[in-house]
Amino acid sequence: MKIIIQPFTVRKRFPLTISRGTATGNTNLWVKVQAEDVEGWGEATPFSISQDHACTTEELQQELQQVIPRLTSLHPLDRQQITAILDQTSVSTATQAAIDMALYDWLGKRTQLPLWQLWGLNIQKIVPTSVTIGISSP
């Protein structure tokens, strides 16, 4: 399997202010998995709950660059081996999530099924799972 990392920047139309500060944009990473002429896409976003050590895009990119050589000999369906490698290398949850998203996207495209169907979910019962409301003056 081939894994490619591509940084991209999202500029917010309006600055978002939450308890940790104000952001006008984010630089994230696309993670692309290629195998059998199918590609799956995931995204790594720097995120930190603690102010002690804020995760950066550069750190995520470095983590991905360090773990990719250990994954390229595997097939996207080798999920247990991939998970074991990610656990052994103690990569951040953002890096794990990006790889997981890319692998699940690859699987959905490979089987030609949307993930909700592949996972046996009822599309009528799928609800939004995360919403961030910014802080603003009344």
Question: For residue 119, what pLDDT is reported?
Answer: 94
Lowest-pLDDT choice from 24-28, 53-57, 82-86: 53-57
Token pair 């949850």 is at which residue? Answer: 93
Residue 88 falls inside a structural domain: yes
Token pair 């097939």 is at which residue? Answer: 75
Question: For residue 55, what pLDDT is reported?
Answer: 83
DSSP of 44-102:
E----S-SSS---HHHHHHHHHHHHHHHTTS-TT-HHHHHHHHHHTT--HHHHHHHHHH
Q: What is the CATH number of the domain that holds 43?
A: 3.30.390.10
Residue 16 falls inside a structural domain: no
Residue 134 falls inside a structural domain: no
75-115 residue pLDDT tens:
999 999 999 999 999 898 899 999 999 999 999 999 999 99
Residue 62 falls inside a structural domain: yes
Token pair 């199918």 is at which residue? Answer: 38
Instruction: Please report which confidence band the pLDDT of residue 41 belongs to, taking 50, 70 and 90 as the band edges.
Output: very high
Residue 17 falls inside a structural domain: no
Structure-token pair, residue 28: 């994230």
Residue 73 falls inside a structural domain: yes
Residue 131 falls inside a structural domain: no
Question: For residue 52, what pLDDT is reported?
Answer: 55
Q: Nearest CA to 68 among 36, 98, 39, 47?
A: 98
Domains identified in the chain, total number? 1
**CA distance linking residue 102 with residue 79, whole number of Å:** 12
Structure-token pair, residue 133: 């409301």
Residues 105 and 41 sit within 8 Å (Cβ to Cβ): yes
63-85 residue pLDDT tens:
999 999 999 999 999 999 999 99
Residue 87 falls inside a structural domain: yes
Host domain of residue 59: 2-9+26-47+54-125
